[in-house]
Amino acid sequence: MLKQLSKVAVVAVSAMLYCASAQAESKCHEVAGGITTNFVDSSDTLGSATGDLAGGLGVHVFNQEQGSGGTILLTVQHHWVTATGDTVSLDQAIVTLFPTPVPGLYAGSYLNGVNLNRSGTGRFAGATGKIYAWGAVDLNKLEVVLRYSGSVCTSE
């Protein structure tokens, strides 16, 4: 019986040490801010971000398809460099544009968020996490205004 308790104790201590080391290796923090950007051609935007990830960014639209209820689904790739020169590397994502009563004006949302993919540089090297954004897309003026928030996890 004592031998079995010793084995259980070793397994329990090992599990606690593993969890503690996993937490020490990665530190997650909340980020938030705003984005303003303009379409510079039919598939690319350039603009800036404020807040925790302040800097410059661009978005490339790879695909556009009609969704249900008059929505437009855009498959996009972000290019984001912070004011300190670090690159935030993100996976491709889908932004859903919801029609409004004003022709050409859409409410936009990243319903499933955008994943950080570990390929960033500087303080975002190896970073993971997810960022959500919502706002307005004016296809008449070729302008985009968004709020972003989410979580970024970095190695310590």
Structure confidence by residue, pLDDT tens digits, 42-67: 999 999 999 999 999 999 999 999 99
3-class state of residue 50 by DSSP: coil
**Segment holding 2, helix H or strand E:** helix 2-25
Nearest 10 degrees: Cα torsion 120, 126, 132, 133: -10
CB 98 within 8 A of CB 108: yes
**CA geometry: angle at 132 spanning 156 and 74, to 5°?**
125
Written as one letter, the residue type at 89 is S
User: How crowded is residue 110: how many other Cβ atoms within 10 Å of its Cβ?
Assistant: 20
pLDDT of residue 155: 83
CB 39 within 8 A of CB 142: yes
CB 118 within 8 A of CB 152: no
Residue of 87, 91, 61, 65 lying closest to 76 (CA atoms)? 61
Residue of 104, 109, 114 lying closest to 138 (CA atoms)? 104
Q: What is the pLDDT of residues 112-151, one digit of tens each?
A: 999 999 999 999 999 999 999 999 999 999 999 999 999 9
- Read off the pLDDT band of 25 (50, 70, 90): low
Question: How far, in Å, CA of 76 to CA of 74, rounded?
Answer: 6
Instruction: Say what the pTM is.
Output: 0.81
For the chain, domains (ranges, CATH) are: 27-155 (2.40.160)
Q: What is the DSSP string of 89-101?
A: -B--EEEEEEE-S
Instruction: Please give the structure tokens belonging to residue 28.
Output: 């997650």
